[in-house]
Every structure is written in structure tokens, then in C-alpha cells.
Amino acid sequence: MFIRRLYPIRENAALQSRVNSFFQDLAKEGSATENGSEVAGTFVPAVDIYDNGEKVVLKLEIPGVKEEDVDIRIENQTLSVRGERKYEAEEKQENFQRVERHYGSFHRSFSLPISVDAENVGATYEAGVLKLELKKKASAQPRQIKIGAVVGAAAGAAAGVAA
């Protein structure tokens, strides 16, 4: 009789590794391969978003994408950035050993806060980084309020209550 020792932690780790590999392969959605290398499909550009009080700034990394291949739109408080990094067919004859850069189309959408003025947007593209500056509405700008100062309708209400 053969006795086999079980190592559940090791077996779970192997299963987890196989599941991770499956999902990594699945994440390469829509990609066509040539000689085992990814050459076409979709990619998701990295983005940094920050708010400096006066405006919301987005920086998208899209190196290799031509300015005319980028489409930026705002509709119903949603900012959409679409584009495409095209694979140069003439380089196909260079007998590549490995192609790791992603090619194809991309699409990113961002819900904008109500405080953003959709009519006041600036876009610049430099060194492969698309920078979008979305200015906030004047009413959304931060302002300092002095203690003891009563403003607008609140002043009338405060005066009526004090009387």
C-alpha cells in the first residue's frame, strides 16, 4: 500500500498560480498574436488624476500615439478619451524576437464632478503624455470665510432671528 502525504498549502499555491495565469491571459482581450508575441489589440493607458482646488488635472500616458489619433469628448458629465496606437507594418520584416509594447485602440472614461466647468477644458500633448486641465466653476472654488462675517441670505435670516 502506498501512502501519499498531502501538502494542502503547496497544492493551493499551485492552483492559485494556475488561476492567476488564466486571468492574465484573459486580460489580453482582443489581442492577435504573431509568433507568440502580442502585436495588436487593446491597451489601457495609465492615468494620474489630481485636484489642486482650482482645477482637476488628468495625465494619460500614451507614448507612440499621434495627436490626430486621439479623440477627447465630454458628454453628460463624462470625459471620454479614445485613441489608437498603430502597429507599423514595415517593421514587421525586421524579424523581431519579442514584441512587448501594446498596439491597438484604447478608451478611458471618467465621471466628472458637478463642480467641473465642462466648457472650460484645456488639453496639451507632450512627450507621450496627454494632459487635460478641467477648471472648476467659480461657485466651486474654495474660499476663506472670516469668523463673524455673515453673507447674503444668511445675513437677513440671522438679523431676523436676532431681532
Question: For domain 42-140, which CATH number applies: 2.30.110.10, 2.60.40.790, 3.40.50.150, 3.90.79.10?
Answer: 2.60.40.790
pLDDT digits (tens, 9 = 90+) for 92-110: 556 767 777 778 899 999 9
Instruction: Say whether 26 sits in a helix, a strand or coil.
Output: helix
- For the residues 142-158, what does the mean pLDDT come to? 68
pLDDT at residue 156, rounded to an integer: 53
Domain boundaries, given as residue ranges, for the chain: 42-140
Whether 35 has a pLDDT exceeding 50, the answer reads no
Closest CA to 133 of 117, 148, 122: 122
Higher per-residue pLDDT: 161 or 18: 18
pLDDT at residue 61, rounded to an integer: 95
Higher per-residue pLDDT: 130 or 11: 130
Give the pLDDT band (50/70/90) at residue 37. Answer: very low
Contacts of 98 (CB under 8 A, 6+ apart): 37
Q: Tell me the average pLDDT of the chain.
A: 78
Whether 80 has a pLDDT exceeding 50, the answer reads yes
Backbone phi, psi, residue 146, to 5°: -80, 145
pLDDT at residue 82, rounded to an integer: 94
Whether 148 has a pLDDT exceeding 60, the answer reads yes
State pTM to two decimals.
0.60
Give the pLDDT band (50/70/90) at residue 151. Answer: low
Percent of the chain with pLDDT over 70: 70
